[in-house]
């Protein structure tokens, strides 16, 4: 507040506005010029308000919603550490089920990592999916040892039973079907893994029974 005097009607009042150049007299509506020394007071007041606003925003940050909020929880968990990009993506993959481009863009923004780097990581590792997955993930080994032991036949039968090709999701979102280069159990081929559970020495007649365990 600064005390002003109207040169037109001599009215005095405590000015509480923000304009540091002119004020309007409440009585006669005459434009009163704000003296320089009082303008400095108004400028200091404006700076103080701006500082308080910035401090308040730090103490009470805006709560992010939607995709931004989901990403923010994962990023906060790893303390905004850029070197934890893979861990952040793994957390999002686990919690959300897949990584849409909007989510990758938000990771790039919040971690301050180039979007092309985020995308390269997300497409390099089989653990990540850029499209929706079913409730249960089937991975069939297509390595050399499994191939010679009948993996292509196993994959073909699974595709027939599920009505999808590798890389697709069943219409009821129950299963996703993928192939991998190796599952690390060459002596047990042909082999597949469903939600982390390994099945080796697979036989065609056993497939339907195995799938029936997953609802």
- Give 69's DSSP letter: H
154-188 burial, b if ≥16 CB within 10 A, otherwise e? bbebbeeebebeeebbbeeeebbbbbbeebebeeb
CATH class belonging to 136-211: alpha beta
Summarised one tens digit per residue, pLDDT across range 183-209 is: 888 899 999 999 989 999 999 999 999
pTM over 0.75: no
Per-residue model confidence as pLDDT tens digits over 134-182: 889 999 999 999 999 999 999 999 999 999 999 899 999 899 999 998 8
- pLDDT value at 33 more than 80: no
pLDDT reported for residue 3: 79
Quick one: pLDDT at residue 7?
A: 81
pLDDT in tens, 37-70: 655 665 666 545 554 554 444 444 555 678 899 9
Contact 44, 56 (CB under 8 A): no
Alpha carbon of residue 146 to chain centroid: 37
Task: Provide the residue ranges of all domains of the chain, joining segments of one domain with +.
Answer: 2-59, 66-124, 136-211
175 bridge partner residues: 136
């Amino acid at each position: 507040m600064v005390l002003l005097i109207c040169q037109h009607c001599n009215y005095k009042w405590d000015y509480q506005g923000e304009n540091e150049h002119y004020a309007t007299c409440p009585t006669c509506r005459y434009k009163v010029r704000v003296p320089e020394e009082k303008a400095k007071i108004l400028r200091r007041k404006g700076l103080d308000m701006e500082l308080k606003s910035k401090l308040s925003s730090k103490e009470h940050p805006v709560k992010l919603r939607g995709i931004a909020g989901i990403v923010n929880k994962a990023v906060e968990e790893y303390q905004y550490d850029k070197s934890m990009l893979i861990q952040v993506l793994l957390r999002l993959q686990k919690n959300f089920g897949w990584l849409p481009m909007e989510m990758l863009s938000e990771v790039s923004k919040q971690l301050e990592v180039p979007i092309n780097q985020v995308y390269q990581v997300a497409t390099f590792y089989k653990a990540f999916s850029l499209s929706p997955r079913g409730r249960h993930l089937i991975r069939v080994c297509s390595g050399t040892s499994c191939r010679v032991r009948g993996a292509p036949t196993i994959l073909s039968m699974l595709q027939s039973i599920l009505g999808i090709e590798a890389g697709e999701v069943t219409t009821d979102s129950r299963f996703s079907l993928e192939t991998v280069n190796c599952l690390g159990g060459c002596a047990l081929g042909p082999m597949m893994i469903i939600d982390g559970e390994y099945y080796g020495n697979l036989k065609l007649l056993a497939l339907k029974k195995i799938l029936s365990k997953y609802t």
